[in-house]
Amino acid sequence: SNLPKDPSTYPYNYLGLEIRPMVAQFAKDRIAKHHLTGIVEFVGCNANIDLDRLLRLYQTQASQANKDDNAPLLLQRVSIQYPDPHFKKPHAKRRVVTEDLVDTLAKYMPLNHQEPCAPETSSLVFLQSDIQSVLDGMRQVFGNCTEYFQDAHPDVDYYMPDNILKVPTEREVSVLVRDLPVYRAVFYRTATPWQERVVEESLTESEEESTTDDDDSEDNAKRHP
C-alpha cells in the first residue's frame, strides 16, 4: 500500500465515487485489509447524477456531528483523477467534469476567504490525467466558472509537477513507471457564496414552428372573421 502506516495521522476522511459497481466493491473489500475502516469508504454511483444527493446527505449528517463534537466536518478537497476520456463526440456528455458538476461542488465546498490560498488550509479541487487533452478539457470547464473557482496557475500551459495528495493512484504508478507524463491542475474555491442558477427554458424547433403557426392562425382569424 502507498498509504501512511498510521491511519490516525490522516488529516481527512476519504470517500471514493466509482461508476462501475464491481470496481467499487473491489475497493470496499480492501478497506479492512489496510486497516482503514472509518477513514475510507467507497460508493458505487454516477457522480453526474448522484453527487448533489450524496453531498446533501453528508452535509446534513456533518451538521449534526458538528453540534455533537464541535468538529468542522467540511468538504475540504475534491479529487478527479484519470477519468475516462470519452474521445468520441457522441460520448462527450458522459465526461465526469460538466458545468452541472462544477456548480454542485461550488454549492457544497466551503469558501476561501484567505489570500493567497494554500493547499494545506484551503478548499480545493485537484485534477490529474495522463492525457493532456482530458486535463485541458476539465480545466476549461472549471475555468469557465471563475465566480466560484480560481485556477492556482493562470497560465493554462502550466501543469503542476507533483501530486499534492502525496499518494499516487495505481494508474498514476503505472504511468510514471513507464516514464510518461502526468498533467495536473488545482482550482481553489473562491469567497463567492453559491447561488442557484436560473435556467432559461428555450423552445424547441418544433415548438417554435407550432407557436408561429398559431400566431398566423390568430392573425388570419382577425382578418377573416
Cα 178 off chain centre by: 28
Give me the active site residues, please: 84
Burial annotation 30-39 (CB, 10 A radius, 16+ → b, else e): ebeeeebeee
Cβ–Cβ < 8 Å for 147, 192: yes
Other Cβ atoms less than 10 A from the Cβ of 88: the count is: 8
What's the Cα-to-Cα distance from 64 to each of 41, 68, 104, 170, rounded to whole Å?
20, 6, 21, 35
Grid coordinates belonging to 205: 424547433
Q: What is the rounded distance in angstroms from the CA atom of residue 18 to the CA atom of residue 214?
A: 49
Question: What single-letter amino acid sits at 83?
Answer: P
